[in-house]
Amino acid sequence: MKEGFFWGNSVSSMQTEGGWNEDGKSLSVYDIIEPAEHRSDWHTANDNYHHYEEDMDLMQDLGMNMYRFQVSWSRCVKDGTGAFNEAGFAYYDRFIDALIQRGITPMICLYHFDMPLALAEEENGFLSRKTTDAFLRFAYEVIDRFHHKVHWWITFNEQNLYCQPRTAFRISGYTRGEKTTEELYRIAANVMYAHCAVCNYIHAHTDGKIGGMLAYSEVYPHTCHPKDILAASAWDEFINTDLLDTFAFGRRSPMVEHFIHTHDIDTGLSEEDMQVIHEHTEDFLSFSYYASNTISAEKIPDGAPVNDWLNHGALNNPYIKATEWNWQIDPDGFRDVLNKMYRRYRMPVFPIENGIGVQEEWDGIHPIDDEYRIEYHRDHIAAMKKAVEEDGVEVLGYLGWGLIDILSSQGDMRKRYGVVYVNRTNHDLRDMKRVPKKSYAWLKQVIHSNGEIL
């Protein structure tokens, strides 16, 4: 890969940090979730709050030169709207310094689903403009405090999840209501306005770089039937292209705009808000990629909004294998996504999440033999290299997800993504020992050779 290519690791605060009630942190929606058979509470995670230097030493040894992490809103602002918590900001100040001392470039994510509990309960999360304004107050403060050390930013993790009903009402702090299509579009609009306002703030006040991020799951027609092809095309337009058009051009997809107009949907945005969106600029486009799907038109009920089609029409692809969680492994889809984003928008693209989640148990003696993880990352990195070397795509870097084991997005410690094992289970914290797996030595070789040795 080219000189200056970023190799690194991505995480969220609630899946990693722990320290849920320490040093003035107020509650987020995750802090009150009860444990279940296959779900931990979120109080300890992998205890990165107390182990971050150890984890950074491992990343440095691997050769990583970027770490994408989240600054927790609840750790830094009392109940999301109150006084700034100096102890919380001091923690991230030390954290950032520790990265820089190890030659690791920090990338900050400002929101990764963990809404301050008070704003969820009082304002219904991002359905309310008051929440949006409170987020911007927090975001601007983080930028003001850290922009002289941090030059890479994203606002919202996987922003297209806010236009999908199954996820939007869960990750936006929404706690009550009918979950209507208009509410869905209002949440997505508030999040987009906030994203664009942050972009404008960073470009006006810093020399930093910022890019929008989406969860890009390649979705193929299940068959060559024209209705399946149209369904896949419409899904891509509503879930991916609409967001990317707004990131790159400051305007929505005409197909989505037409849907909003013909269904008389009020997104709640003013003319001034729209001007913020139209005028904003971005420096790169970033995305997560794990798997692909297929969609069958005959499975989609009449009248279902496109935003919900995959929940009805998803079917397994018979040509590719899947993980034990039924995530279908598709490195060729990864290459295609890189190409589609770059060809259409001519902006640098940055895959900042990629990985495979597997149930693993350490025997206390031998490194875990995770050849399947080596194969997954090898195939995806090889596909990325083809996109760069054969297709001409400008790719900024490759960040794996949770490469030191963390809680899954559902709070399940059984689903492990790391090249480093963290010795805990869902209900037994054990000693939190960090133990490199077989894939650790392989990834170290890849990074130290800048992707030449796979």
pLDDT tens digit string along 99-156? 999 999 999 999 999 999 999 999 999 999 999 999 999 999 999 999 999 999 999 9
Which DSSP state fits 162?
G
pLDDT for the residue 429:
97
Measured distance CA(356)–CA(336) in Å, rounded: 19
Question: Averaged over 394-415, what is the pLDDT?
Answer: 98
Average pLDDT, the chain: 98
pLDDT at 217 over 90: no
- CA 154 → CA 14, 56, 181, 354, 404, distances in Å? 17, 21, 27, 16, 21
Measured distance CA(186)–CA(183) in Å, rounded: 5
pLDDT digits (tens, 9 = 90+) for 278-337: 999 999 999 999 999 999 999 999 999 999 999 999 999 999 999 999 999 999 999 999
pLDDT digits (tens, 9 = 90+) for 57-80: 999 999 999 999 999 999 999 999
Q: What is the share, in percent, of the chain residues with pLDDT greater than 90?
A: 100
Burial class (CB in 10 A: 0-12, 13-18, 19+), 128: buried
pLDDT for the residue 177:
98
pLDDT digits (tens, 9 = 90+) for 335-354: 999 999 999 999 999 999 99
Q: What is the CATH number of domain 6-448?
A: 3.20.20.80
In this structure, what token pair is assigned to residue 100? 């820089």
Q: What is the share, in percent, of the chain residues with pLDDT greater than 70?
A: 100
pLDDT for the residue 104:
98
Residue 82 pLDDT class (50, 70, 90 cuts): very high
Determine contact, residues 145/204, Cβ cutoff 8 Å. Answer: no
Determine contact, residues 182/265, Cβ cutoff 8 Å. Answer: yes
Residue 407 pLDDT class (50, 70, 90 cuts): very high
pTM of the model: 0.98
Q: Is 158 a catalytic residue?
A: yes
Question: Averaged over 370-378, what is the pLDDT?
Answer: 98
Quote the longest CA-to-CA distance of the chain. Answer: 63
Helices and strands, counts by H and E, the chain: 15, 15
Question: Averaged over 21-29, what is the pLDDT?
Answer: 98
Label residues 36-72 b or e (16+ Cβ within 10 Å = b).
Answer: eeebbbbbbbbbbbebbeebbebbbebbbbbbbbbbb
Of residues 17, 123, 158, 183, which has the active-site annotation?
158
Query: Hey, how many other C-beta atoms are within 10 angstroms of the C-beta on 89?
Result: 18
**Phi, psi for 239 (deg, rounded to 5):** -95, -35
